[in-house]
Structure 1
């Protein structure tokens, strides 16, 4: 990572970095809702730092209805292709190990609030 605002998510807030599929599966299979922050290349995409600042505020606004993790470089491309949330930075939401929604690129606050509310209301598909 090494952008201070992205590093802050793991150092100050203690969010895990998911560096492999095993980490991803273990984290997203836990009870509850999970938001994965996919930063992308912050050197080419200045919006990554913006989302790194916005996501903790969204978690507060939703009163902890989801926990958060940062997706590491090692699995980022695979995850983006697997979930079809191709643009970065992005937020990808999971429940019970299944993706329930994604939000690519930076958005305005009202858009985040509406989209996350819809995503959290999405039922998990029966397997």
Structure 2
């Protein structure tokens, strides 16, 4: 079942004009395998999360500073399933990957300098396990 979506011209620009691929559960593995470093843009609904528009404007600028990053937009229908895999809690989110290995995520909109500092650190970090967004399990 297709999710009802709010028109998103700034997201559409990323896919139509800038040719960012749209990834879902059927093609994300191949994309990650073919790109050493990637940034996955989880948008959610811009009506609920208007900061998504801000991130859509900033992302191409970030890619001009970090040209080794291959960008992709995550398809709305599979965002929640993939959110569970990558463990971020807030929207919008940029998830950084080294091939199929998780590096980190940046959520919401940030100051430009914060983006630069965080992304530089993320791209030189070791892969790690994504945070869990589930209920913590405790033994008795």
TM-score by length of 2: 0.83
**Residue 10 of structure 2 corresponds to residue 5 of structure 1:** yes
2:49 aligns with one of 33, 40, 45: 45
Structure with the higher helix share, 1 or 2: 1
- Determine the C-alpha separation between the residues in 2 that align with 1:30 and 1:120: 17
**Structure with bigger gyration radius:** 2
Instruction: Name 2:26's counterpart in structure 1.
Output: 22
* Equivalences, count: 123
Q: Deviations over 1:98-124 (max 9, x none)?
A: 111100111110111011001100134
Instruction: Name 2:119's counterpart in structure 1.
Output: 116
2:60 aligns with one of 56, 63, 78: 56
Q: Identify unmatched segments of 5+ residues in structure 1.
A: none
- Determine the C-alpha separation between the residues in 1 that align with 2:33 and 2:107: 22
Runs of 4 or more, structure 1, over 2 Å off, are none
What is the CA RMSD across the aligned residues, in angstroms? 1.3
**Which region of structure 1 is more displaced relative to structure 2, 89-98 or 22-31?**
22-31
TM-score by length of 1: 0.91
Instruction: Name 2:95's counterpart in structure 1.
Output: 92
